[in-house]
Structure 1
């Protein structure tokens, strides 16, 4: 039996440099806030030319691992759930713009996610959380007639519910999904009068959260999102 061919792929020098720089960050040799070594130091350390170093550094920046500023040394970034999701923002928006199915999948995913967040929030909410949510509703009410401000408060309301969990990944997921949906969140509230429904439904959600009623909070969120999902149009 002839053995399978295992082809050796020659990698670009910049890919090898990227791997080594990435290991310097993930191993803790370089920590968030640290400056990256100079190009000359890296060239001597790895025995490569300046183009390979610069290409590898740009790849690190594209992945959100370092920040490159003109005239300054690149710095290692503190990775957060939010920064990770921001790396896929453009890709997600392009995907949504090209496929009606993808937009429907995102709507469904949001409903599934927010139902769970409502249950979690109902079990964990404290008075300061309820006060924050009511303050956001009050700000949203003052924004009637100003679409951008109203929508910003709407997004903040839902992200604040996710924050009650205490899990930063939940908050980042909420923020990311809402940002992607915002591309289609236009001409749907102010000009149709439906913003008043949104306010009433937000108030119902907060009442259920304040009562620590997980079933009621989930039902209120489901009612709210099922009505509003039709407003997101491609």
Structure 2
């Protein structure tokens, strides 16, 4: 006895073309940097019209598998951890703007994440890593009167700490979270005169990293984030 329904849904041609094209990429038939076949070649190969090809190609571009440039053949993209998270940017922006709770959850996630990252950095950091962080901190100090440059250097400092892990996914997560948070950085920074406090806190974190003191580095990072998280808020 047959239970329920097993209705066969007819798929759009573009969906079938999408799966075929995706298979050509994931199987290695087409690799990063390779040009996709022309629309005419694909029409002949799959026996479909131009609209189905174009819709499927746009769908591939939307998920970052190919890049489409006017007047040129589409090309297969080199996928990286960074490009993976970039595909989430629009969705994350919409979610954050629609939900104050989501912004708080993101700040909590960042706090949890950076506690682990700074511990890892304290264990793994080399003299070159410390010098790189010091250079960024020096740039931030020189930008104390320029909020845009100051915040950019601030985020670069935190991203560089994540990069010390040597894990491209950790680095991409850091860049993504800070990028999503950036639009919620209020003008409180420039109006409350907390720039120098940020510099002092960054200097403290860096000092503990140079000493490879994971516990002290984590405590300094938590103190820094608990204070600075208040600077990220939905517009009143």
Alignment of 1:143-158 (within 5 A): 143-158=143-158
Q: Write out per-residue CA displacement over residues 79-103 of structure 1, whole angstroms, 9 at most, x where no aligned residue.
A: 1111111111111011111111000
Unaligned stretches of 5+ residues in structure 1:
none
Moved more, 185-194 or 108-117: 185-194
Q: Tell me the CA shift for residue 2 of structure 1.
A: 4.3
Partners in 2 of 1:106 and 1:215 — Cα distance? 24
Q: Write out per-residue CA displacement over residues 159-189 of structure 1, whole angstroms, 9 at most, x where no aligned residue.
A: 0000000001100000000000001113021
Which residue number corresponds to residue 170 of structure 1? Answer: 170
Moved beyond 3 Å, runs of 4+: none
Q: How does the TM-score come out when normalised to structure 1? A: 0.98
Q: How does the TM-score come out when normalised to structure 2? A: 0.98
Moved more, 215-224 or 181-190: 181-190
Unaligned stretches of 5+ residues in structure 2:
none
Partners in 2 of 1:2 and 1:165 — Cα distance? 55
Q: Name the SS of the counterpart of 2:192 in structure 1.
A: coil
RMSD: 0.8
Q: Write out per-residue CA displacement over residues 180-220 of structure 1, whole angstroms, 9 at most, x where no aligned residue.
A: 00011130212211011100000000111111111111111
Aligned length: 234
Partners in 2 of 1:113 and 1:209 — Cα distance? 17
Which residue number corresponds to residue 65 of structure 1? Answer: 65
Which residue number corresponds to residue 225 of structure 2? Answer: 225
Partners in 1 of 2:97 and 2:52 — Cα distance? 35
